[in-house]
Amino acid sequence: MSKLCSGNKLEQRSTMSAESLAELSKLVKGLAEKIDRLESFSQSRHDAIYAKSMTLESTTNGLSTGLGGLSQEMERVKQTVERKADQAQLELLENRSKRRKLGENYPTWR
Protein backbone atom coordinates (compact mmCIF):
# COMPACT_ATOMS: atom_id res chain seq x y z
CA MET A 1 0.00 0.00 0.00
CA SER A 2 1.17 3.47 -0.65
CA LYS A 3 0.33 6.70 1.06
CA LEU A 4 -0.16 9.76 -1.02
CA CYS A 5 -0.36 13.29 0.27
CA SER A 6 -2.54 15.78 -1.48
CA GLY A 7 -2.52 19.14 0.21
CA ASN A 8 -3.28 18.73 3.89
CA LYS A 9 -5.23 15.57 3.19
CA LEU A 10 -3.70 12.20 3.63
CA GLU A 11 -5.13 9.76 1.19
CA GLN A 12 -4.64 6.03 1.40
CA ARG A 13 -4.85 3.92 -1.71
CA SER A 14 -4.18 0.30 -2.22
CA THR A 15 -2.37 -0.61 -5.30
CA MET A 16 -1.69 -4.14 -6.37
CA SER A 17 1.06 -5.02 -8.66
CA ALA A 18 0.44 -7.30 -11.60
CA GLU A 19 2.50 -9.95 -9.80
CA SER A 20 0.31 -9.82 -6.69
CA LEU A 21 -2.81 -9.95 -8.79
CA ALA A 22 -1.54 -12.96 -10.73
CA GLU A 23 -0.57 -14.72 -7.47
CA LEU A 24 -3.99 -14.02 -5.96
CA SER A 25 -5.67 -15.24 -9.14
CA LYS A 26 -3.60 -18.42 -9.00
CA LEU A 27 -4.60 -19.03 -5.36
CA VAL A 28 -8.28 -18.46 -6.10
CA LYS A 29 -8.08 -20.79 -9.10
CA GLY A 30 -6.39 -23.46 -6.95
CA LEU A 31 -9.05 -23.13 -4.27
CA ALA A 32 -11.81 -23.36 -6.87
CA GLU A 33 -10.27 -26.56 -8.26
CA LYS A 34 -9.99 -28.06 -4.77
CA ILE A 35 -13.62 -27.16 -4.05
CA ASP A 36 -14.69 -28.78 -7.34
CA ARG A 37 -12.76 -31.96 -6.50
CA LEU A 38 -14.26 -32.00 -3.02
CA GLU A 39 -17.77 -31.58 -4.43
CA SER A 40 -17.12 -34.33 -6.96
CA PHE A 41 -15.79 -36.66 -4.26
CA SER A 42 -18.72 -35.80 -2.01
CA GLN A 43 -21.18 -36.58 -4.81
CA SER A 44 -19.49 -39.89 -5.62
CA ARG A 45 -19.56 -40.89 -1.92
CA HIS A 46 -23.22 -39.91 -1.76
CA ASP A 47 -23.97 -42.02 -4.84
CA ALA A 48 -22.07 -45.00 -3.39
CA ILE A 49 -23.88 -44.74 -0.05
CA TYR A 50 -27.22 -44.40 -1.81
CA ALA A 51 -26.53 -47.49 -3.94
CA LYS A 52 -25.54 -49.48 -0.85
CA SER A 53 -28.67 -48.36 1.00
CA MET A 54 -30.82 -49.41 -1.96
CA THR A 55 -29.12 -52.82 -2.01
CA LEU A 56 -29.60 -53.12 1.75
CA GLU A 57 -33.26 -52.16 1.44
CA SER A 58 -33.78 -54.74 -1.31
CA THR A 59 -32.03 -57.43 0.73
CA THR A 60 -34.04 -56.53 3.82
CA ASN A 61 -37.29 -56.71 1.86
CA GLY A 62 -36.28 -60.11 0.49
CA LEU A 63 -35.44 -61.38 3.96
CA SER A 64 -38.72 -60.05 5.30
CA THR A 65 -40.66 -61.82 2.55
CA GLY A 66 -38.70 -65.02 3.19
CA LEU A 67 -39.36 -64.78 6.90
CA GLY A 68 -43.08 -64.38 6.25
CA GLY A 69 -43.06 -67.50 4.05
CA LEU A 70 -41.03 -69.39 6.64
CA SER A 71 -43.49 -68.42 9.38
CA GLN A 72 -46.38 -69.74 7.29
CA GLU A 73 -44.50 -72.96 6.57
CA MET A 74 -43.67 -73.39 10.27
CA GLU A 75 -47.35 -72.94 11.12
CA ARG A 76 -48.29 -75.66 8.59
CA VAL A 77 -45.62 -77.99 10.01
CA LYS A 78 -46.84 -77.29 13.55
CA GLN A 79 -50.42 -78.13 12.58
CA THR A 80 -49.28 -81.32 10.82
CA VAL A 81 -47.24 -82.41 13.85
CA GLU A 82 -50.15 -81.67 16.18
CA ARG A 83 -52.50 -83.67 13.94
CA LYS A 84 -50.07 -86.59 13.86
CA ALA A 85 -49.59 -86.43 17.63
CA ASP A 86 -53.36 -86.41 18.13
CA GLN A 87 -53.70 -89.36 15.73
CA ALA A 88 -50.94 -91.29 17.54
CA GLN A 89 -52.59 -90.60 20.90
CA LEU A 90 -55.94 -91.75 19.52
CA GLU A 91 -54.38 -94.95 18.13
CA LEU A 92 -52.71 -95.60 21.48
CA LEU A 93 -56.02 -95.22 23.30
CA GLU A 94 -57.80 -97.45 20.77
CA ASN A 95 -55.13 -100.15 21.15
CA ARG A 96 -55.37 -99.92 24.94
CA SER A 97 -59.15 -100.18 24.71
CA LYS A 98 -58.92 -103.21 22.42
CA ARG A 99 -56.50 -104.94 24.80
CA ARG A 100 -58.87 -104.33 27.70
CA LYS A 101 -61.78 -105.76 25.77
CA LEU A 102 -59.72 -108.78 24.80
CA GLY A 103 -58.70 -109.17 28.42
CA GLU A 104 -62.32 -109.21 29.51
CA ASN A 105 -63.18 -111.95 27.02
CA TYR A 106 -60.26 -114.16 27.96
CA PRO A 107 -59.46 -115.14 31.49
CA THR A 108 -55.99 -114.41 32.66
CA TRP A 109 -53.88 -117.46 33.43
CA ARG A 110 -52.00 -117.26 36.63
Q: What is the pLDDT of residues 31-62, one digit of tens each?
A: 999 999 999 999 999 999 999 999 999 999 99
Domain ranges across the chain: 18-103
Q: Which helix (H) or strand (E) holds 92?
A: helix 18-105
Q: Is the pLDDT of residue 13 over 50?
A: no
pLDDT-based confidence at residue 97 (cuts at 50, 70, 90): confident
Q: Looking at residue 90, what is its pLDDT? A: 92
State the chain's mean pLDDT as an integer: 85
Q: What is the pLDDT of residues 74-94, one digit of tens each?
A: 999 999 999 999 999 999 999
Cβ-contact 8, 22 below 8 angstroms: no
Q: Looking at residue 43, what is its pLDDT? A: 97
CA distance 55 to 67: 18
Q: Is 8 helix (H, G, I), strand (E, B) or coil?
A: coil
